[in-house]
Amino acid sequence: MDTIHSFTPVWIILTSAVAALLIALLGRWPNLRESCIFVAAAIKLGLLLSLAPAVLDGKLYEFEVMELLPNVGLAFKVDALGLLFALVSVSLWIPTTIFSIGFLRPLKRHAQTRFFFFFTIAISSAVGVAFSANLLTLFIFYEALSLSTYPLVTHHQDDDAIKGGRKYLTYLLGTSIAFALPAMIIVYQQTGNLDFANGGVFASGTSTALLAVLLVMFLFGFAKAGLMPFHAWLPGAMVAPAPVSALLHAVAVVKVGVFSIIRVLTGIFGVDLLANTPSLSTIVCVLAGITLIVASLIALTQDNLKSRLAYSTIGQLSYIILGVGLATKIGVAGAALHIPMHAFGKITLFLCAGAIYQACGAKRISEIHGLGRKFPLTMTAFFIGSLCVIGLPPTGGFVSKWYLLNGSLDSAQQWAFAVFLTSSLLNAAYFLPIVYKAFFAAPTDAARLDKAKEPPLLTIVPLFITSAGCVLLFFFSDKLFQFANTFAEMYTAQ
Amino acid sequence: MREQLPIVIILGPLLGAVLAAFTGWFRPKLSHPLVVVGLAISFAAALKLVFIVAAVGAQEYWLGGWGTKPGHGVVGIQITVDHLNTLLLAAVSGIALLTALYTKRLVDTELAGRQRYFYALFSLLVTGLLGITITGDIFNLYVFMEIAALSSYALIAYGRGRAYMAAFNYLIMGTMGACLYLLGVGFVFAKTGTLNIDDVSAIVPALGQSQALFVGFVLILLGAWAKMAFFPFHGWLPNAYAHAPTASAALLAPLATKVAVYTMLRVMVTVYSIDYINHSPGIQSAVLYLSSIAIVVASFFSLTQTNLKKLASYIVLSEIGYMVGGAWLANKPGLTGAMVHVVADAAMTSALFMAIGCIVYRLGQAQLDDLKGVFFKMPVTMAAFVVTMAALIGVPPTCGFFSKWYLIQGAAQAGVWHFVVALLLSSLVKAIILFRIIEIGYNRVPHPAIEGNPAIPRNEAPLSMLIPTVAMALGLIALGLGTSTLVNTIITKALPAALTP
């Protein structure tokens, strides 16, 4: 495997950290402050794209900053999956920032500088997770992300926000300290190695019981992935302002959770080990399968729009985990592909929810009947986002679900096929009625609709960008599939 | 000059103490700068020795030249700077120096009119602590132990009201500890005929399973445990540190208990040996259980506290359990973790008490309910406080994360799962405490930036207190990033040869 020694990964992480510093200093001048974000995002995106050709060629960018423990350092490695995830996070950061400006300024929200500061730190941490070369580095950035998003979740600083924030930290810090940390130390004690590598770190002959215990500890330890029963923080985190829910709780934070689980399954355990030890693969698939179905069923019952979206996210995250758990090449590729596809779909939905809230203050689905006739563009974007999450053409979600279904047929866990299909039906059942009622049902609260005013342009434009993204991803899915496939080949080849 | 460096470490604060007491008599203003200079000299020597020890190995110094001639070893006193104590010496003298700078304003207000002999006692306490750490003679260690203890009783009794009672409790417990230690030394001396640590460690293996030596070992350990407030000898500590003047607590809390832990490590690793511990498995598992209980009980008590100083004292108690347990795992990662944690915890506790001192200086008290809005009043102090608590929780890349990593690794290797659970539980409890304080200090007030809410005037601690606090908090991160260097160059070499193949 070719590796390129390069400092670029560190620069990419640092650009947003430097931007955060500037944001803190420029708090008095909002325009200057926010232009920092765009400049940083553009530089970051440019640097990320400059890495793409070599990475798609199967090469790796590596850089070790320093050694932290014998044989384990603060080290970065850029492979196809990491680059894909970083690209998704950073490219969605731009529309979200536009949205944030449109969302926060007219409402005269307090502490906007603090908001943008921690938002930027969170993006840095997410990219740090994406580029981590070993489990310890990943853990460091994972915790940094938990801590830096806490001020965002509690942004409103009222009782609900404090309660949500408390739940958020209890679940995320609690599980990572109680499960992921000891599991990681046991792996280190057993193998002396925490690097992500094809084939994992365990010597052959490691007892399956130990592996199973470690596996469960990792699956629950990275609770950002929302595996049940450690999912309740995500609906609780919906007290955060809309842009936070959109980028962090549909893309960066939750995807960091599944990303960590993918890294552990492919790089620490190894896909071959999973494939050859059916009990391990079954554990992953059953836990993910249960979450998938149960979360979709709960989503059906939610009237609060953001809660329904949150439960939908919990279900969709388990698609990815289930895909990797299948331990087939196509399954892994499909799982990797589902990261960007779901990200674009879900962020569109959350931005729509934010725009709706801003236009008429509605938080509940029962309050937005008839809204589609007043705001056809917003609800059309919502419709496209729903299609993407359900997995219908012509949106990107179709492609990733296609590969996931294929992967399940290839594997020993063929029942997963039925789970995927059932869940997709449920997805349709909880999304399409919203769209239908928005366009065709009689308004429940006509007075509210009359009062509603068009949301500012800055909150509408991002919706177009991301919903257009959902459609474009369908037509250019081969580009993304290259990333997913390069990763799957690297980690499933003998 | 190089061969004189070890004694310079002691002489700096000792002369500082004497001169400060003398000038305190007719010109009290001079005592603070004198003590600072003494500590600065001591710190410089200790720091230089860290590099020397890392490069060429242990440095010995015989007081008065006694012992360099044959037959003098019994009466001569040796002081040694080796891989086991060099980091702690630098930490003790460095933290003492920063604390001396930090406490000036506190002492002037808190002890106004009574500060005449404070810095003489301060410097004498540091002399005692450095002496315990540097000496190569088990009886001389007792002497320094008493110097440190007597000055710390006085420093605690500087407080008002319940401080006298707390100091008295501490005096009883501390004297018992010192007596037990001295008795143990008596047994060892009776059996080996020497007090020099190197000589004792050469003789002990030849004596085999001697009852007298075993009793000596247990007595010394009990003495050290009483001094470090290890469960169940912990009752004196929370009151003593909470009621002592903030300036005294800021010096005592980080250093006194850590030096007692070092005494235990020295006895376990050098005077006796890891083999000796492995041959007494009954005690080993009992001590490990006690450590876990110490951690869990202290953590839960810290959760119930309403006073910040009390809360911090219980955190100190739980950290004692980390180090004792790590040492008694008696394997490579466990001992490494204990040794790293002695230094890391000294730094963390120091930063914690400094931040609390800043809060007390401005708010006048440290009840949790009084902290409302403190993040707006003292943003820099609270930033340092958050970093410190993060280190105590064990958030990477602070030093607390790495010491905990080694401890958990050692426990996993030895299969002592209750210790792993205790460590993780303690982290979680500290996380709860941190976020409870954030909630009270940040979220429980109407945000001043929102129009119509009352503004909260900024009232940051004075720079002379703020700078040491921030420096210490940043030091926690630097120490964390430097852990692997310290372990590779120094701590690994302090481990008994039996553990490093």
Its ipTM equals: 0.75
pLDDT value of residue A494:
45
Q: DSSP per residue over B271-336, as a string?
A: IS-HHHHHT-HHHHHHHHHHHHHHHHHHHHHHHH--BHHHHHHHHHHHHHHHHHHHHHH-SHHHHH
Report CA Rg, chain A. 21
User: Cβ contacts (< 8 Å) between B431 and chain A: which residues?
Assistant: 169, 173-174, 177
**Residue A93: its H or E element:** helix A80-104
Q: Judge whether B118 and B126 are in contact, CB under 8 Å.
A: no
Is A143 in CB contact (< 8 Å) with chain B?
Answer: yes
What's the longest Cα–Cα distance across chain A?
A: 69
Q: How far apart are CA B247 and CA A440, in angstroms?
A: 72
Is A24 in CB contact (< 8 Å) with chain B?
Answer: no
* Cross-strand partners of A72: A69
**Residue B224: its H or E element:** helix B211-228
Residues 6+ away with beta carbon under 8 Å from A454: A359, A375
Are residues B405 and A162, on separate chains, in Cβ contact within 8 Å? no
User: Cβ contacts (< 8 Å) between A146 and chain B: which residues?
Assistant: none
Q: How far apart are CA B102 and CA B468, in angstroms?
A: 6
pLDDT value of residue B16:
92
Mean residue pLDDT across chain A? 85
Domain boundaries, chain A: 3-492
Tokens of B386: 């958050």
Is B376 in CB contact (< 8 Å) with chain A?
Answer: no
B78-81 and B59-62 beta bridge pairing:
antiparallel
Are residues A185 and B409, on separate chains, in Cβ contact within 8 Å? yes
**Interval B14-26 mean pLDDT:** 90
Is residue B43 predicted with pLDDT exceeding 80? yes
Are residues B428 and A111, on separate chains, in Cβ contact within 8 Å? no
User: Cβ contacts (< 8 Å) between A111 and chain B: which residues?
Assistant: 447, 449
Q: Judge whether A226 and A257 are in contact, CB under 8 Å.
A: yes
User: Cβ contacts (< 8 Å) between A186 and chain B: which residues?
Assistant: 412
* Cross-strand partners of A63: A76
Are residues B412 and A108, on separate chains, in Cβ contact within 8 Å? no
pLDDT value of residue A20:
83
Q: Judge whether A458 and A98 are in contact, CB under 8 Å.
A: yes
Instruction: Look up residue B68 and give its amino acid.
Output: T
pLDDT value of residue B294:
93
pLDDT value of residue B26:
86
- Using CA atoms, how far residue A286 sits from A64, A210, A416, A492, B111, in Å, is 37, 19, 9, 22, 66
Is B488 in CB contact (< 8 Å) with chain A?
Answer: yes
The distance from CA A145 to its chain's CA centroid, rounded to whole angstroms, is 12
Identify the weakest region by mean pLDDT among A20-24, A331-335, A336-340, B55-59: A20-24
pLDDT value of residue A108:
61
Are residues A69 and B412, on separate chains, in Cβ contact within 8 Å? no
**B403 to chain A: closest CA residue:** A69
pLDDT band at B148 (very low <50, low <70, confident <90, very high): very high
For A73, phi then psi, to 5°, come to -120, 175
Q: What is the pLDDT of residues B110-120, one digit of tens each?
A: 887 788 888 99
CA-based nearest residue to B83, from B60, B61, B130, B50: B50
State the nearest Cα–Cα gap between A242 and chain B, in angstroms. 19
- CB count, 10 Å around CB of A309? 27
Sheet bearing A60-69, strands edge to edge: A3-5, A60-69, A72-78
Mutate to test the interface with A, among B424, B425, B429, B486 (most CBs of A within 10 A): B424
Are residues A182 and B481, on separate chains, in Cβ contact within 8 Å? no
Q: How far apart are CA B197 and CA B193, in angstroms?
A: 11
Residues 6+ away with beta carbon under 8 Å from B255: B92, B95, B96, B126, B129, B346, B350
Instruction: Look up residue A239 and give its amino acid.
Output: V
Residues 6+ away with beta carbon under 8 Å from A71: A192, A193
Residues 6+ away with beta carbon under 8 Å from B424: A177, A178, A181, A182, B408
State the nearest Cα–Cα gap between B419 and chain A, in angstroms. 12
HSE, CB side, 13 Å, CA atoms: give it for residue B340: 33
User: Cβ contacts (< 8 Å) between B394 and chain A: which residues?
Assistant: 177
pLDDT value of residue A259:
92
pLDDT value of residue B70:
60
Q: What's the whole-model pTM score?
A: 0.85
Report CA Rg, chain B. 22
Q: What is the pLDDT of residues A466-475, one digit of tens each?
A: 888 888 888 8
Between residues 158 and 217 of chain A, which touch chain B (CB distance below 8 Å)?
Answer: 161-162, 165-166, 169, 173-174, 177-178, 181-182, 185-186, 188-189
**A138 to chain B: closest CA residue:** B396
pLDDT band at B451 (very low <50, low <70, confident <90, very high): low
Is A220 in CB contact (< 8 Å) with chain B?
Answer: no
Is residue A45 predicted with pLDDT exceeding 70? yes
**Helix H segments across A105-205?**
112-131, 135-153, 159-175, 181-191
| For residue B232, cis peptide bond before it (omega within 30 degrees of 0) | yes
Picking from A69, A147, A157, the nearest residue to B484 by CB comes out as A69
DSSP A11: H
Residue entry with tokens 């930090």:
B102
Q: What is the pLDDT of residues B358-372, one digit of tens each?
A: 998 888 878 888 888
Tokens of A88: 């998704």
Q: What is the pLDDT of residues A134-148, one digit of tens each?
A: 999 999 899 889 888
**Interval B441-456 mean pLDDT:** 74
Are residues B439 and A181, on separate chains, in Cβ contact within 8 Å? no
